[in-house]
Amino acid sequence: MANNTLRGLFWRRFKRNKLAVAGGVIVVLLFLVALLAPVISPYNPDNIDRRHILEAPGPDHPFGTDDLGRDVLSRMIFGSRISLAVGFVAVGISTLLGMIVGALSGYYGGWSDRIAMRFIDIMLSIPTFFLILAVIAFIGSSIWNIMAVIGLTSWMGVARLVRAEFLSLKEREFVLAARAVGASDLRIIFRHVMINSMAPVLVSAILGVAGAVLVESALSFLGIGVQPPTPSWGNILTLGKDNIEIAWWLSVFPGLAILITVLGYNLLGEGIRDSIDPRLWGRE
Amino acid sequence: MLTYLIKRIFEMVPTLFGITLISFFIIHLAPGKPTDIFSELNPKITPEARERLNKYYGLDKPILVQYGIWLKKISTLDFGNSFSSDHRPVIEKIWDRKQPLLQRRLFVTFMINLLAMIIILLVAIPIGISSATHRNTFYDKITTTVVFIGFAIPSFWLALLLMILFGVHLHWLPIAGLKSMNFDSLPLSGKIWDVGRHLMLPLFVSAFGGLAADSRFMRSSMLEVIRQDYINVARAKGLPERTVIYRHAFRNALLPIITLLGLSVGGLIGGSVIFENIFGIPGMGQLFYMSVMTRDYPMVMCILTIGAVLTLLGNLLADIGYMLADPRIRAR
């Protein structure tokens, strides 16, 4: 009980929340799998083996083989890289953009704030998945395009969040003090206010990764996302749909991977939210 | 209240204008043109012929002019003709008056989303209330787990699993389309049963995600309300627990759900691309997918606009519902 710093309190609360720890473990494992993919995958994911086409799971191929005789487990291990990369880059883009828009409109207010908020209302009324689908289909489905488009269509929530934090923080004494000693606007925005609004942003970013993973897999499943032969969980599921009558394993395992991944990010995000908020510390 | 409503509807106009402006520019500024697809199919096409095609479709004009022309046309509900080989008016492809309702794409998508929403409401609210009133019991833990899985499950994967189980292995339910081959020869009751059987899996899939979100939301809203003083007062004056929960707490806990429902319209419509594709349902989402693949600009813009209008209407209905439910707002 000696460690009563903010970080110590956070850790104590976080560790007590078993679900949050489980989420953290899932995310760490996912990183390890993606990092060690060439080492741990039993086969080369692109190795076509025409003698073992659509083989059910067995000792040689624990998750079976696909329509070209490629090992599904190995393809899924390499697919984790796509899911990880798309999730983090897309959320990086949306969080950065959201923070900038939110900070500027919250701090300065006035006309630019009104225009930005109206723009956000408009963006939120466009059926986003329709827009993402159209744009990716038009500009081509490279992994960079997918990351960029998901990122550019999902920053609005963060912007609103950061704006609200700025509105409530900018009149506080520590900001007035910083201004009194002559700190520039940029310094106040980034060194003083932004730092204090990072907690909710972090939580929404982690939950955002889960959302991005789902969108990427849906796009790949529809054939508009990551293109074969590059393996992604979504495009293995497409094969599952094409061979639905004969090869259940192509549908079951990649979907399970998506489910566990998204569950991991969600549990971690919610766990951090519960442990990071000092207002919740007194309860229970 | 009426003034507020009128003001609210007028506010929708600039938003809708903004939506069409942004969508139009994003769609039309993406590199490449629809006519490139014809050219790819026919390598012998000359640059002059391609120019003629661009001119025919009005794609040679500056983009602002194109937007102006488009805007002028849709003010009379004319969304132009499809770029696809049938060249039919876009509106007719979405809402064909000559066909029975079940073959009008907009109707199909609208019906499925409406039914899904009704199911979500009817199931999520009771679940949310009961897990709030039975907080931290075994039942609450089970529903919480299901809700967490519901948040994380990819809808198309759920669809695949259900198709494998009920369609391929058990043969209980059809896995594609909206009706059977012998639909026309069936009596009315048989027709309803047939469509119902086809709709069962798509409805379950499209409702499942929303169910998780809304029941969770209902639970936390209910937990918030039963901590209030007026609930203690109701209990203190000796009202039975049922009355306290359903007359005093329920109504107040319902308010945030109304807003959430209105906001979820956009997501439901977006999701229809996915499940209409998997289940082979001839709705607006399936048409959108096909139009996107062939760069059918008028069709894509029309469906985006309809989707946005439906989303805005959902928000408006939520506001109206909120006003009807909350006397404090009505009084203002």
> What residue ranges do the domains of chain A occupy?
69-266
- Side-chain-side CA neighbours of residue A83 (13 Å): 33
ipTM over 0.90? The verdict is no
The answer to whether residue A128 scores a pLDDT higher than 90 is: no
Per the omega criterion (within 30 degrees of 0), is the bond before A229 cis?
yes
Full 3-state SS string of A137-191: HHHCCCHHHHHHHHHHCCCHHHHHHHHHHHHHHCCCHHHHHHHHCCCCHHHHHHH
Burial level of B43, CB count in 10 A (0-12/13-18/19+)? exposed
pLDDT value of residue B288: 92
Highest mean pLDDT among A79-83, A197-201, B227-231, B242-246: A79-83
CATH code linked to domain A69-266: 1.10.3720.10
Name the more confident of B32 and A258. Answer: A258
pTM of the entire predicted model: 0.87
From chain B residues 286-325, the ones with a CB under 8 A of any chain A CB are: 288-289, 292-293, 295, 300, 303-304, 307-308, 311-312, 315
Span B37-60, average pLDDT? 73
Which candidate, B96, B110, B78, places its Cα nearest to that of B281? B110
pLDDT value of residue A51: 86
pLDDT value of residue A146: 93
Q: Collect all residues of chain B within an 8 Å Cβ-Cβ radius of residue A221.
A: 154, 156, 274
Asked if B157's CB is within 8 angstroms of A251's CB, the reply is: yes
Q: What are phi and psi of B188, to 5 degrees?
A: -55, -45
CATH number for B102-331 (one of 1.10.3720.10, 3.20.20.80, 1.20.1440.230, 3.40.190.80): it is 1.10.3720.10
Nearest CA in chain B to A140: B31
Cα-Cα-Cα-Cα dihedral sign, residues A47, A52, A55, A58:
negative
Asked if A214's CB is within 8 angstroms of B164's CB, the reply is: no
Span B274-301, average pLDDT? 89
pLDDT value of residue A6: 73
DSSP class of residue A65? B
Instruction: Tell me whether B15 touches chain A (CB under 8 Å).
Output: yes
Nearest CA in chain A to B271: A129
**Residue A283's pLDDT band (cuts 50, 70, 90):** very low
The answer to whether residue B330 scores a pLDDT higher than 80 is: no
Instruction: Tell me whether B271 touches chain A (CB under 8 Å).
Output: yes
The answer to whether residue B311 scores a pLDDT higher than 70 is: yes
The residue among A26, A138, A153 with the most chain B CBs within 10 A of its CB, best to mutate, is A138
Q: What is the pLDDT of residues A71-127, one digit of tens each?
A: 999 999 999 999 999 999 999 999 999 999 999 999 888 898 999 999 998 888 888
Domain boundaries, chain B: 15-78, 102-331
Instruction: Tell me whether B230 touches chain A (CB under 8 Å).
Output: no
Q: What are phi and psi of B310, to 5 degrees?
A: -60, -40
pLDDT value of residue A252: 92
Distance CA B30, CA A139 (A): 6
Distance CA A61, CA A48 (A): 13
**Amino acid, single-letter form, for residue B89:** P
**Residue A2's pLDDT band (cuts 50, 70, 90):** low
Asked if B152's CB is within 8 angstroms of A266's CB, the reply is: yes
Give the closest of B157, B289, B308 to A127, CB-based: B308
In the numeric block, which tokens belong to residue B259? 């807003």
pLDDT value of residue A1: 47
pLDDT value of residue B43: 67
pLDDT value of residue A284: 41
Q: Which residues pair with B89 in a beta bridge?
A: B81
Highest mean pLDDT among A5-9, A280-284, B23-27: B23-27
pLDDT value of residue A81: 93
**Residue B196's pLDDT band (cuts 50, 70, 90):** confident
From chain B residues 22-61, the ones with a CB under 8 A of any chain A CB are: 22-23, 26-27, 30-32
Q: Measured between alpha carbons, how far is residue B152 from residues A82, B43, B134 in Å? A: 18, 46, 24
